[in-house]
Amino acid sequence: MSLEDMRYPDDARLSAYLDDELPAAQSSHLDARLREDSELRSRYARLRGVQEFLWSEDEPNFQEAMERTWHRLSLRNFEQPRTKWWRRPVAVPLSAVAAALAVLLLVGGVLIRFGGPAQLSEERSSADRLSESFELSAHARESEELLRRLSGSDSGDEVTIQLPESRTFEFVGQPVIVPAGH
């Protein structure tokens, strides 16, 4: 904060001072300024008046205000939107939830016990279809795949040459690849 800001604090700074939100040093500086400057004191008094007025009022009854507003709108043929039935809050007793869960478990167990083979058969048939489609695509891609593998550069097929010992190399420039004679 500049010296100018402290000499002529704006309403935001005065409001922060009023709410006791300024750092201690700035707050004590403003204390001194308020004692010296009558105009600043007047601005501060106005702000404090607004704050006291706001605090003096009870919190408005929003629910009542909302009902009043809808009533006025209904007089002008506006219809209040209805909450969908599946979005309305429903209170279910814990015992009912437990009972429903038990029934679900029972039904699930029966289905697995007696409906198992049919389900497995269906899974197998879908697996067969997958296998067929894989084989088909494998035929179509066979050549491409072989070429790719042959061209694979990470085959580890690297030849290592041991350079003569007791030779220390240095860079003489940037590595370069050029046609011979250049």
Partner 1 sequence: MLMKHVLIVFAGLALVLGAESAAADDVDDLLELFGDEALHVSIDARVVEDGERTIWNMELTRVTISGRSVQVRLDGDNIIVRARFTPYRNNESLLLVAQGQTWLKVAGSDELRYETAFETVPIELGETVVFYPLGQENVTMDVDTKRYGTINLELEITVVPYFQAVEKN
Residues that bind partner 1 (CB under 8 A): 142-143, 146-147, 150-153, 157-180
Residue among 96 and 161 whose Cβ is closer to partner 1: 161
Residue among 109 and 152 whose Cβ is closer to partner 1: 152
How many angstroms separate the CA atoms of 177 and 109, rounded? 71
Residue among 63 and 155 whose Cβ is closer to partner 1: 155
Residue among 77 and 153 whose Cβ is closer to partner 1: 153
Task: Please compute, for residue 177, the number of CA atoms within 13 A of its CA located in the half-sphere on the CB side.
Answer: 0
The answer to whether the CB of 43 falls within 8 A of the CB of 74 is no
Structure tokens at 180: 């011979």
One-letter amino acid at 174 equals: Q
Q: How far is the CB of 159 from partner 1 (least distance, A)?
A: 5
Q: How far is the CB of 156 from partner 1 (least distance, A)?
A: 9
Instruction: Return the closest-CA partner of residue 34 out of 53, 7, 63.
Output: 7
Q: How far is the CB of 103 from partner 1 (least distance, A)?
A: 60
Q: Which distant-in-sequence residues (6+ apart) come within 8 Å of 142 by Cβ? A: none
Q: How far is the CB of 136 from partner 1 (least distance, A)?
A: 15
